[in-house]
Amino acid sequence: MSDSDSSLSEPVLKKAVLKEAALAPWRSSLARALHRNRSRPYSRYFQLSTVTAAGHPANRTVVFRDFLPNTNTLTVVTDQRSAKVADIAAHPWAEACWYFTHTREQFRLAGPIAVVGVADSDADLKRARQTAWEALSDNARQQFYWPHPAQPRESEADFSPRDVDEAPPGEFCLVLLIPHAVDHLELRGDPQNRTLYSYQADNTWQVKVVNP
């Protein structure tokens, strides 16, 4: 994981995530965790940390939507007006921390991150954004029509349900996290088990079993 990775231009980065990739070796562990914790809906939530333009860490809970088809890229959705979009523009690198409460294991997934918005013209990215919009529940879609997040709440503000459009509103963004380093910690086990996965320049993964 070199620093130069985080300076990939936006179009290059976004195009790169659509490239088909072999299933990374951490994918089976993550799939197993998702399966074994599936009775708890919040098992699909993780905490996404970014760095603000001022250089401070920011951290919030997001909902895992899916992997981009045939890639190891995680997707979440966000509002163009949310602070994380500005963070990512300033520092296009993130670390997700995903803790599974039932199996007591944690995945940390770090790597470049990109936002796909209404202005993206690439056909594949447009399709990915449209697909993500269609996969959302009606309730989740409503939120993109709400007043500006984090602005003062006005008593007359309109949060009432409305018809959702087939095309996503301009506020709707797809976020792509491309893990370059994954740290899997299993608290069960005596002692605990910890495995580090690190993406290499030749498109392979290095796997190391380390002390917890």
From the CB of 81, what's the least distance to its own copies, in Å?
10
**Residue from 97, 140, 164, 207 binding its own copies (CB under 8 A):** 97
Q: For residue 82, what are the CA distances in angstroms to 70, 77, 114, 122, 206? A: 29, 11, 14, 23, 35
Q: Which of 19, 198, 10, 15 is nearest to 91 (CA)?
A: 10
97 residue type, one letter? C
d(CA 6, CA 25): 23
When the beta carbons of 121 and 151 are compared against its own copies, the nearer one is: 151
Of 8-16, 47-55, 118-126, 197-205, the window that binds its own copies (rule: CB under 8 A) is 47-55
When the beta carbons of 125 and 144 are compared against its own copies, the nearer one is: 144
188 is a site residue for its own copies (CB under 8 A) = no
197 is a site residue for its own copies (CB under 8 A) = no
For 103, list phi and psi in degrees, rounded to 5. Answer: -90, -5
Question: Between residue 72 and residue 91, which ones bind its own copies under the rule CB under 8 A?
Answer: 91
194 is a site residue for its own copies (CB under 8 A) = yes
> Tokens 């409503």 identify what position?
142
When the beta carbons of 123 and 201 are compared against its own copies, the nearer one is: 201
Quick count: other Cβ atoms within 10 Å of Cβ 46?
22
Q: Which of 19, 10, 140 is nearest to 73 (CA)?
A: 19
The site map against its own copies for 102-141 (x = CB under 8 A) is ----x-x-x-------------------------------
d(CA 176, CA 180): 13
Of 18-26, 64-72, 100-108, 171-179, the window that binds its own copies (rule: CB under 8 A) is 100-108
From the CB of 73, what's the least distance to its own copies, in Å?
18
Q: How many residues lie near its own copies (CB under 8 A)?
A: 49
